[in-house]
Amino acid sequence: HPFVWLAPFIVLYNVSVYILDILGVREALFISVIFNCTYLSLSTLFLYCAFFIKNSARNSFSYAFLNFRRVKIIGKFLTILGFLLLCYIPLFLKSGYTSKMETNLHGGLPGLGFISKLFIFFYIPYIIYTIRVTGKFPIKVFIYTVLVTLSISLFIGERDIFLTIILCSFLVFYYYFRPSFKKVVLIAVICLGLVPILGMTKQITNKDKIDLGQVNLVAAVFQGEFFSSGHNIEVLLVNQSQWNYQYGKSLLNDIMRALFPPMIFPVQNTTGWFNSHFNGRAYMGYGMGFSYIGEGYLQCGYCGVIIWTIFLALIVHCLYKYSQKSVLGLSIFLFIIPK
């Protein structure tokens, strides 16, 4: 159900700045505003889910998309795509780049993002079919994808691919096998612990040493993957005198940017606007992303947070309904969850 996985992510991504304040790592700013935005977003999502989203029977959809011939082709594609991903490691090492920021500054590694998305997208229906036919989770395929994506994280620094594989695997495993609550909590704790460890070990060839004993892993969890959203809201509020409420204008810019290339319609999307105005390291290839709650607040304050959450809930609702109809829909739904 969308609320089950979306609500924890909303909390993690937006209150990490406050948790770091409690841990004494940094001082959080505008705590009351961030809490109000998070509460409004959670409440809006809860009410939307309660009134409009109904649970369907598990395994009630059609598996017509999958058959032995198609899955065999998918398996071959998965092997080829894994090999292509591994080929990026010597390309990266040969390039002389020393960080992900430097790689991004020089245009990145061509095709890596596209191939990694295909790799993940083919992986999901393959393991679904295997579970459907054998009744067992495909450990060998899982290990193969983990080794490929872990290698990409260690050598190139793209840990998102690895974390996405882990999350999608867990969601499929939970969907079909329904592990106990204790096992779910244990897996969640392990996954959260992986976030800072991957951050410290990524691009391992450019590090002199890795000393995990000197790192506060609890604080590192909230300083890494989950820090940027809440911090970006802080940055937006600190610089409130430098911008005006958009009242939907930035959404139109996002749509135009998605439909037309910059050379035809030169306009920044909201994330580009935020980074160009408030990211002092953008010229170095460092991207801060933004925040959907922050973007809602940018439109018209607290009302914008509610409206943007409704937009998010509508999109997720449509995908969730589609996931109840076919295995292809389920694959697409699981694919977009980590995004």
Per-residue pLDDT of 73-88, as tens digits, reads 888 999 999 999 999 8
* Ranges 130-134, 183-187, 223-227, 260-264: which has the least confidence: 260-264
- Please say if the pLDDT value at position 334 is more than 70: yes
pLDDT tens per residue across span 113-140: 899 999 999 999 899 888 888 889 999 9
CB 18 within 8 A of CB 31: yes
pLDDT score, position 287 = 61
Q: CA 187, 56, 62 angle in degrees (round to 5)?
A: 95
Give the mean model confidence (pLDDT) for residues 294-321.
92
Percentage of the chain lying above the pLDDT 90 cut: 24
Percentage of the chain lying above the pLDDT 70 cut: 83
pLDDT score, position 213 = 56
DSSP 99: S
CB 295 within 8 A of CB 270: yes
Nearest alpha-carbon partner for 108 in 92, 119, 93, 84: 92
For the chain, the average pLDDT equals: 82
339 vs 278 pLDDT, higher one: 278
pLDDT tens per residue across span 146-176: 999 999 888 887 888 888 899 899 989 988 8
Residue 301, class by beta-carbon neighbours within 10 Å (0-12 exposed, 13-18 middle, 19+ buried)?
A: middle
pLDDT tens per residue across span 7-50: 888 888 888 888 888 888 888 889 999 999 999 999 999 999 88
- Please say if the pLDDT value at position 90 is more than 70: yes
pLDDT score, position 297 = 93
Q: Which of 40-54, 84-98, 258-272 has the highest mean pLDDT?
A: 40-54
Residues counted in the chain: 339
